[in-house]
Structure 1
Amino acid sequence: MRADAFLAAADLLPLADLATLAGEGGLVVVAPHPDDESLGCGGLIAAARAAGRDVRLVVVSDGCGSHTHSELYPPARLRDLREDETRRAVTVLGMDPGAVTFLRLPDAHVPSEGRRAEDAAAAIVEAASACRASAVFVTWRHDPHCDHKAAAAIVALARKNLPAVRIYEYPVWGWTLPPETEVGAAPEGLRLDVSAFRATKAKAVGAHESQTSDLIHDDPTGFRLEPEMIDRLCGPFERFVAIRG
């Protein structure tokens, strides 16, 4: 199926409540970079916390690839900034910042196999065990970013140790794929109505100031989220593609 048709179909997936989507246990969200959790799953996290669910976040990369030419924010300082932004964002969403695990794998070079990938998979299993997870959410395997693909591959490695845990993938950059890109079979999965949490989600996204503002102003090549993308992802629904077998 072409990417444009797949994503259009994802926009029409059946609506479900939180329990139907995620079961009755805790939730683990896996984010390739600091900010993906808010962009792709901010509404889900807020809804789960409002319902009293235990939510754990695993951030895979160090996020140091967003501003590689900044003298004000060399890699270690940028990493610390982005981790602080993530803690602020999840606090907005209702999470305890202590429920975040930062794996600090290299941005743009997250491995999808080998020892470091297996160690990352083990960290996800540990988070799932800690919250008695019934569902794990990770970025879509066809998102056009190497770290998003790698994060999905790491969750696939973890699956053998996650019996009876539902696995879903959430698109973040999928809408930037060339429309004719082949992405496999039509999506299965569910949508969650997050309209009650749109303002909360937008505030969480905004907490990632290094990615949404001119906070880091000395790197003209630095990354910045476009308002159109934020608007696209902060709508009334979040889409979750079910991964079977």
Structure 2
Amino acid sequence: MSAPGPDREPAASEAARAIEAAGTDEREWAAWPAPGEWPEPALPEGPVLVLAAHPDDEVLGFGGTAARLAAERREVHVLTATDGEASHPGSRVLPPEALARARRRELAEALDALGVDRRTRHRLALADTRVGAHETVLARTVAELLRSTGAGLCVAPWRGDLHADHEAVGRAARTAAASVGVPLWQYPVWMWHWAVPEDARVPWTRCHRLPLSAAQRARKRAAVRRFRTQTAPLPDHPAVILPPEELAHHQRDFETVIVETDLS
């Protein structure tokens, strides 16, 4: 993940406040019975293209299922839009260029832990917090990758996640998937923080659950631990991006995807 950018329009400022506020406790989500009734979607045939705005998004939202696909020898392609260099603004310990290098290393280790082939990893290096300015280029790149890989499914951050970069990647994925005629699943990341059960802002009727085995959960936990810059404080940046209470949302025995039903 990365924090919202410093230059905010009014709507972006409201979204940033929702993300920066105290979040919904995982115990509240665990007590909500609705996810137990969500259907399990059938995985289409062919390779799967997984998109992320920042290094770690793909692991938090879809890491367990990616591990399952890799174990089944399914071809999993991962496209990361940014290097996440804006997650610790003002840090002298890890200024942007050093942080970008660190996060690329962490992602490589995390994808290794999931079993994702190193030959199927793609990087765009767009500016962190500024993905929306490159949405057209991103959509074109995703469409080209969907065609060249023969992907049968596109998976991306949810376009209602309230983080501008996540939403831009989600919108670009929707445009690309529609142009190629490929199904689209979107995974929430920050939603579990700012939303509450039955929240009217979330399309619960399109939510599906992807059960995870003990082995898949273990691989996902191992992958998440690789993101040291996000799960531990820096000497000059004590705020942790992914504290235990945030990680708890992404350590369940299932993952959630919002299935797009109309890509016209």
**TM exceeds 0.5?**
yes
Is 1:81 the counterpart of 2:99 in the alignment? Answer: no
Give the Cα–Cα distance (whole angstroms) in 1 for the partners of residues 170 and 86 of structure 2: 19
Distance 1:184 1:60 in 2: 24
SS of aligned partner of 1:187: helix
Judging changes above 3 Å, is the alpha-carbon distance between structure 1 residues 11 and 217 closer, same or farther for their aligned structure 2 residues? farther
* Aligned: 1:241 with 2:258: yes
The SS at the match of 1:58 is strand
Determine the C-alpha separation between the residues in 1 that align with 2:220 and 2:195.
27
Paired with 2:35 and 2:131, the residues of 1 have a C-alpha distance of 27
Deviations 1:131-152 (A, max 9, x none): 3211111111221211111111
C-alpha distance in 1 between matches for 2:161 and 2:33: 15
Deviation at 1:63, TM superposition (A): 0.4
Q: CA deviation at 1:117?
A: 1.4
| Shift of residue 177, structure 1, vs aligned partner | 2.0
In 2 relative to 1, CA 160–193 (structure 1 residues): closer, same or farther, beyond 3 Å? closer
Offset from partner CA, 1:158-183 (integer Å, 9 cap, x none): 123321x1101111111222548642
Aligned counterpart in structure 2 of residue 128 of structure 1, from 146, 159, 182: 146
Check the 8 A contact 1:108/1:146 in 2, yes or no. Answer: yes
**Deviation at residue 72 of structure 1 after TM alignment:** 2.1
Match of 1:210 in 2: 229
Task: Work out the CA distance in 1 between the residues paired with 2:110 and 2:261.
Answer: 31
Task: Please tell me whether residue 71 in structure 1 is matched to residue 92 in structure 2.
Answer: yes
Q: Is the 8 A contact 2:83 2:128 kept in 1?
A: yes
Partner amino acid for 1:175? W
Q: Does 1:45 align with 2:66?
A: yes
Q: Provide TM-score, normalisation by structure 2.
A: 0.80
SS of corresponding position for 1:64: coil
Which residue of 103, 118, 122 corresponds with 2:136? Answer: 118
Q: Which amino acid letter does the alignment assign opposite residue 128 of structure 2? A: D
SS in 2 for 1:30: strand
Match of 1:15 in 2: 40
- Give the RMSD, CA atoms, in angstroms: 2.3
What is residue 35 of structure 1 aligned with on the other side? Answer: 56
Give the distance between the partners of 1:70 and 1:11, measured in 2 at CA. Answer: 42
Structure 1 letter corresponding to 2:222: K
Structure 1 runs not aligned, ≥5 long:
none
Distance 1:118 1:8, change over 3 A: farther
Structure 2 CA distance for partners of 1:205 and 1:134, relative to 1, 3 Å: same
Q: Which residue of 2 aligns with 1:201?
A: 220
| TM-score (structure 1 length as normaliser) | 0.86
User: Which residue pairs with 2:5 in the alignment?
Assistant: none
Following superposition, the deviation at residue 41 of structure 1 comes to: 0.5
Q: Which amino acid aligns with 2:173?
A: V
Contact 1:15 / 1:191 at 8 angstroms: preserved in 2? yes
Query: 1:142/1:9 Cα in 2 relative to 1: closer, same or farther (>3 Å)?
Result: farther
Match of 1:187 in 2: 205
State the alpha-carbon separation in 2 of the partners of residues 92 and 194 from structure 1: 16
